[in-house]
Structure 1
Amino acid sequence: MDRAERRPQKPLEWIASSRKDIRGAPEEVQRFFGFSLREAQRGYQPLAARSFGEGLPHQIMKLADDNRSNTYRVAYTAFPAAVYVLDVYMKKSKSGIGTPHLIRRRIIHRYKEAVRLYEANYLLPRK
């Protein structure tokens, strides 16, 4: 299927402060992440996305955008019926190229919350 074809858009869900955090990024960064997340909502893997790695579950994807001298990152996961934004942060080079342990722990915690919310809102039968 060609990317130009319109697919139905999955809901975009924001975990914890991720929505507020993305609004704190420069406008160009917000546009880049917005475009990439819309691709994920349509069921595509954004061209800029890759598995987060660094010991995190393979379902967690990472987007990165350089703006001036800063690098901004988004961690998200895409389920069949929804996309969850787990974290948005500015990469600081305190720990070399890797993601600091505290941020990785926060992403894992938010991923578990996204799984719980997805199961409750999209998989379990409604009464």
Structure 2
Amino acid sequence: MFVQQQIHPLKPIVWVGPARRELKDLPRDVQRTIGVALWFAQKGSAHPAAAPMRGNLAGVIEVRADSHRSTYRLMYLAKLGSVVYVLCAFQKKATSGIATPKPILNRVAERLRQARKLHDQTERGP
């Protein structure tokens, strides 16, 4: 029996601000985990380590990865057009329990605004 599968192209990734450099600064095993999570996002699905943010960051997805007794996170936006916007990558510091520190949330919110602005400019064209 023949089963036909639909092959969908992967969504392109757009790195907002220094997000790509931030990811490259993380440990290799974390980069691998996050890379797989971004591949899931490009396919239009969610990685098991991905969780949606709430509040004013609704629509942003957070990927968590652990390595050497540290936690690392990446924030991306995949529900804006047909592009995955990578907003921020960082090491989670233990200063505030499991909550993401306010300065990081502010950085993500600013890059979210940048991603939306970039999307609007791209949609309008030159």
Question: TM-score by structure 1 length?
Answer: 0.88
Q: How many correspondences in the alignment?
A: 121
CA distance in 2, matches of 1:41, 1:56: 23
Displacement after TM superposition at 1:46 (Å):
2.1
Tell me the equivalent position of 1:109.
110
Tell me the equivalent position of 1:89.
90
CA distance in 2, matches of 1:39, 1:10: 10
- Give 1 or 2: higher strand fraction: 2
Displacement after TM superposition at 1:19 (Å):
0.3
Displacement after TM superposition at 1:73 (Å):
0.1
Displacement after TM superposition at 1:5 (Å):
5.9
SS at match of 1:29: helix
SS at match of 1:98: coil
**Identity value in percent:** 32
Q: Deviations over 1:26-67 (max 9, x none)?
A: 1111011111101111111222211123x3321011000000
Q: Deviations over 1:97-122 (max 9, x none)?
A: 1111111011000001001111111x
SS at match of 1:56: helix
Structure 2 unaligned segments of length 5 or more: list them. Answer: none
CA distance in 1, matches of 2:59, 2:120: 15
Q: RMSD in angstroms over aligned alpha carbons?
A: 1.5
Q: Deviations over 1:61-102 (max 9, x none)?
A: 100000011100001001231000100000001111111111
Structure 1 unaligned segments of length 5 or more: list them. Answer: none
SS at match of 1:47: coil
